[in-house]
Amino acid sequence: MSRILVTASDLQAALSAGAFPDGGPVRVLDVRWRLDRPDGRPDYRAGHIPGAQYVDLDHDLAAHGAATEGRHPLPPVEALQNAARRWGIDAGDTVVVYDDLNNMSSARAWWLLRFAGVADVRLLDGAWRAWTEAGFDRETGDAAIPTPGDIDLAYGALPSLELGEVGAFADDSLLLDARAAERYRGEVEPIDPRAGHIPGAISAPTTENVDADGRFHTPDALRSRFRMLGAEDGMSVGVYCGSGVTAAHQAVALTLAGFEPRVFPGSWSQWSNHPELPVQTGPAPR
């Protein structure tokens, strides 16, 4: 668990020492983004962890193309590598990510950097709230521009799902829908062109993976939750959300629980933009 989550106290100690005892030099990324306020820079400038580099999720962690690719398709790996180097990331660094939304947004950076081959990426458990409640120093304005890093990235270090694989995966394996239950049922759809869920998917809102303080439940508690949803030991579990952001948060929880998650980056925003693909509504998977 310590290789995925860090406490505010452990991060503060690592920043003071320059590295984690079990990791490399520390690089901190602030990934503030939310659907109703995608530009998190004003909040970042109002206060952030000293030295943390601001990450623009819409531009640094996503590409922009046709609607049939989804709302947050993966950026070209060369673009992500350029961004990671701009943030000062070197090979061997320990990267810590956080946001102000219970890590629902920063988990995208966790998964994407891991998928691109960064071996040691961790989340600040409890996110920005945990840092401020601990009373640690905060920095305002923009952090100093770091020396450019030398990290080399290549996609494929974690398993994933492409659009053409998802239907068969839902037939044969466990596919979890990380969105709110009412969106899964198709009662509301505020963004994407069709309401409902991928046939065969199980509703598993990712908000249920954290406690009232925004900290992840214990691995045992998460394992029990996913077993109740149908996950078995050794099983590869697929996960999607609206546009591939909170699916990464579910992937964190699945990893903590000991399962191997396969994220569908295009998620519902891609699936629902393909009218030839079926849609299921209501509380049942099919």
Q: Note if 101 is an active site residue.
A: no
| 93 occurs within a structural domain | yes
Q: Is residue 200 part of a domain?
A: yes
In a domain? residue 12: yes
Q: Does the residue 139 lie in any domain?
A: no
Domain boundary among 116, 133, 150: 133
* Residue 119, pLDDT above cutoff 90: yes
Looking at the fold, whether 65 and 169 belong to one and the same domain comes out as no
Residues 127 and 187 in one domain: no
Residues contacting residue 112 through CB under 8 Å, at least 6 positions apart: 61, 74, 80, 248
Residues 103 and 28 in one domain: yes
Which of 241, 248, 252, 256 is the catalytic position? 241
Do 113 and 12 fall into the same domain?
yes
Query: Where residue 57 sits, what CATH number does that domain have?
Result: 3.40.250.10
Q: Is residue 233 part of a domain?
A: yes
In a domain, 263, yes or no: yes
Q: Are residues 108 and 183 in the same domain?
A: no
User: Is residue 208 included in any domain, yes or no?
Assistant: yes
Q: Which pTM does this prediction carry?
A: 0.96
Of all residues in the chain, the percent with pLDDT exceeding 90 is: 96
Q: How far is CA 275 from CA 43, 70, 239, 244, 269, in A?
A: 38, 13, 21, 19, 12
Specify whether 105 is located in the same domain as 187: no
**One domain, residues 12 and 110:** yes
The pLDDT assigned to 1 comes to 47
- Alpha-carbon distance of 222 to 227, in angstroms, equals 9
- Quick one: 16 and 128 in the same domain? yes
Residues 171 and 250 in one domain: yes
On whether residue 156 sits in a domain, the answer given is no
126 and 10 co-located in one domain = yes
Average pLDDT, the chain: 96
pLDDT one-digit tens code per residue, 206-250? 999 999 999 999 999 999 999 999 999 888 899 999 999 999 999
Number of domains the chain contains: 2
Average pLDDT over residues 155-160: 97
Mean pLDDT of 264-268: 98
Q: How far apart are CA 120 and CA 135, in angstroms?
A: 26
Q: Tell me the residue range of the domain where 184 lies.
A: 163-271
Q: Based on the domain organization, do 181 and 264 belong to the same domain?
A: yes
